[in-house]
Amino acid sequence: MSAVKKSIVVEQLRKAQLLQLLSKGNRMDGRGPLDYRPITVETHVIEKAEGSARVTIGNTQVIAGVKVDLGDPFPDTPDKGLLIVNAEVLPLASPYAEPGPPDEDAIELARVVDRGVRESQMLNLSELALLPGKRVYAVFVDVSVLNVDGNLFDTTSYAVVAALATTRMPGYTVVNGEVKKTGETPPLPIQTIPVSVTMARIGDVIIVDPTSEEEAVMDARITLTSDGRGNLCAGQKGQSGTLTFEHVMFAAQTSRAKGEEIRELLRKGVGSAKV
């Protein structure tokens, strides 16, 4: 997943350089520790998908597409629609990506993004049940990573959120116990806009939105997702480094503060004042 090949010597040299810059509050690309790179959100990019979005953060670029179908509910949630998020880092996305089934990094990426969307209750899944226990809407979100330059978690998350928020799905209704197409294309039942904020610890400094270069030398990564009501709804620490208790509390605070800023940006991006 990393676009910068790790080599012990280069890694240590780069880390020393980054640490020196960070000690003065600077980064390689001139950002401050808590600044994101420019974020762009473009929706309706794939006509054949029911919803779609291309999101870029700096040079990282992903595209998310939503397909809505009918499906059988899970036995433990008979009265809820299905939401399935999948992500793939395409071989064209970086010189180090390879074709094949998703590796553990891609699986983690999809699952962490899924958790943020699911647990924030962005979609009211109860409204997506047609015949409880028998027939429900199945919302598939597939993400293709097109170019890797760090922070795939946030880029993927914003693309999934933007695609879902602009989805017009085929409407169905229940007539005499049978599911019939209505011909209408209603939006999904959106309740909130979750925002994932990914931070990296390099030395003793926490930065947001790490680039591939920064990810290659980071000690630990932490992603925390907030909903629109000031709650945290998903989290994941990654990498084989550690965080102090203070780092965790700082990350929780930063996730909420940055989350508010980015939520505004996403709202503008999806052009919906409702959520």
Q: Do the Cβ atoms of 51 and 137 come closer than 8 Å? A: no
Q: Do the Cβ atoms of 90 and 145 come closer than 8 Å? A: yes
Q: Is 224 helix (H, G, I), strand (E, B) or coil?
A: strand
CA–CA separation, 52 and 66 (whole Å):
6
Please, which residue, 39 or 216, has the CB nearer to other proteins?
216
Tokens matching residue 202: 């390099």
Q: Minimum Å distance from CB 93 to other proteins?
A: 20
Please, which residue, 118 or 168, has the CB nearer to other proteins?
118
Q: From the centroid of its chain, how far is CA 47?
A: 22
Q: Do the Cβ atoms of 87 and 106 come closer than 8 Å? A: yes
Q: Is 201 helix (H, G, I), strand (E, B) or coil?
A: strand
Backbone angles phi, psi at 215, to 5 degrees: -65, -30
Q: Minimum Å distance from CB 129 to other proteins?
A: 19
Helix (H) or strand (E) holding 140: strand 135-147
Q: Do the Cβ atoms of 86 and 106 come closer than 8 Å? A: no
Please, which residue, 108 or 142, has the CB nearer to other proteins?
108
Q: Minimum Å distance from CB 27 to other proteins?
A: 24
- Interaction site with other proteins (CB under 8 A): 8, 75-76, 104-105, 107-108, 110-111, 115, 118-121, 222, 224, 227, 230-245, 247-249, 252-253, 256
Q: Minimum Å distance from CB 7 to other proteins?
A: 11
Please, which residue, 38 or 101, has the CB nearer to other proteins?
101
Please, which residue, 168 or 237, has the CB nearer to other proteins?
237
Q: Minimum Å distance from CB 121 to other proteins?
A: 8
